[in-house]
Amino acid sequence: MNDRALRYLLAVVRAGSVRAAAEGLNVAASAVSRQIIELEAQVGETLLERLPRGVVPTEAGRLVAEHAQRQADEAALLEDQLKRLRGVQRGTISLRCGAGFLIDLLDNALAGFAQDHPGIAYQVEIGTTDGILAAIARGEADIGLVYNPPAHPDVRGVVSARQPLLAVLPKGHPLANGSAPVPLRSFATEPAALLPPDHGVRQLLGRVEADGGFRLVPRLETASFELHRRFVMAAMGVAFLPRFVVAAELRADLLDAVPLRDAILSEASAHLVIRAGRRLPEGAARLLGWLADHMVAFRPPPA
């Protein structure tokens, strides 16, 4: 199969339209369409289903796109191996992660890794759990960092660590001196900072609320973890976050945290994921191990 046609098909499947793929490839849409038509003639199957707004791959299109992705992965791996033969350690590693991982990622992982690998650059994009899993499955990112993800057939978990949700409290809060887990219901009447309804953490809380027949009181709703931290430090109310999101503030004694008793919250976990069946280039494989060894998110919670 023509390498250019395969590359164009993969771009169309990723973008969801011929026009968007053409813009990303910096070629004319007609050139992309022509390559797809020739590829369909070659394989004897329709590869794309045309919809009123964009396209989706047929079953044959999905199989050919997966073949194209494997070829792209192997080409990137070969290029990486040739560079290492020449003594060159350069390239870009693409990461997708939830916003709560960002400080931990930069302060505890990338800063140290970059000192030992000065030729490597990093592309970091923030996303939702579903978006991160989809990007990893499509080969659009090398490594994903996700919190409590569902199973995905095309994504493999490499490292995970239990990271229960905590009640994050202002200094001087009545429950701040206790170490025993408390139920989420204990905070039902307190003003709280909550993530948006479509966020995985908010949905975990919602399941406990529904099972217990109570509702938390949202005083602040935001996707910004920085605002959650500052909300609590300003003594405006409580928040519900994994420890790694507020690790620096806990070390500095700027706020307190207590574990939550509810099983679904206490068993949540952080995960490092890659695409199933993919061999990462050397630099990305080294970074994967470095993240597992250095990030707070992948250390066991304190006893």
pLDDT in tens, 82-119: 676 555 466 789 999 999 999 999 999 999 999 888 88
Task: Answer for the pair 142, 202: CB distance below 8 angstroms, yes or no.
Answer: no
At 29-39, the pLDDT tens digits run: 888 888 888 88
Q: Are residues 92 and 151 in the same domain?
A: yes
Task: Name which of 268, 269, 271 is nearest 291 in CA terms.
Answer: 271
Report pLDDT for 86: 55
Please tell me the least confidently modeled range out of 72-81, 123-132, 207-216, 265-274.
Answer: 72-81
Q: Are residues 151 and 170 in the same domain?
A: no
**Residue 104 buriedness (CB in 10 A; 0-12 / 13-18 / 19+):** buried
Q: Are residues 258 and 281 in the same domain?
A: no
Amino acid at 131: G
Reading the block at residue 118, the tokens are: 């000065």
Angle at 264 between CA 263 and CA 268, to 5 degrees: 110
Q: Is residue 35 part of a domain?
A: yes
Residue 303 has pLDDT above 70, yes or no: no
Q: Are residues 233 and 279 in the same domain?
A: no
Q: Is residue 303 part of a domain?
A: no
Q: Is residue 177 part of a domain?
A: yes
Q: Are residues 178 and 155 in the same domain?
A: no
Q: Is residue 81 part of a domain?
A: no
Q: Which CATH number characterizes residue 171's domain?
A: 3.40.190.10
Q: Which residues contact 79 (CB under 8 A, 6 or more apart)?
A: none
pTM higher than 0.85: no
Task: Name which of 11, 24, 139 is nearest 74 in CA terms.
Answer: 139
Provide the number of structural domains found in the chain: 3
Q: Are residues 197 and 236 in the same domain?
A: yes
Structural domain for 62, as ranges: 1-70
Going by their DSSP bridges, the two strands 91-97 and 143-147 should be labelled as: parallel
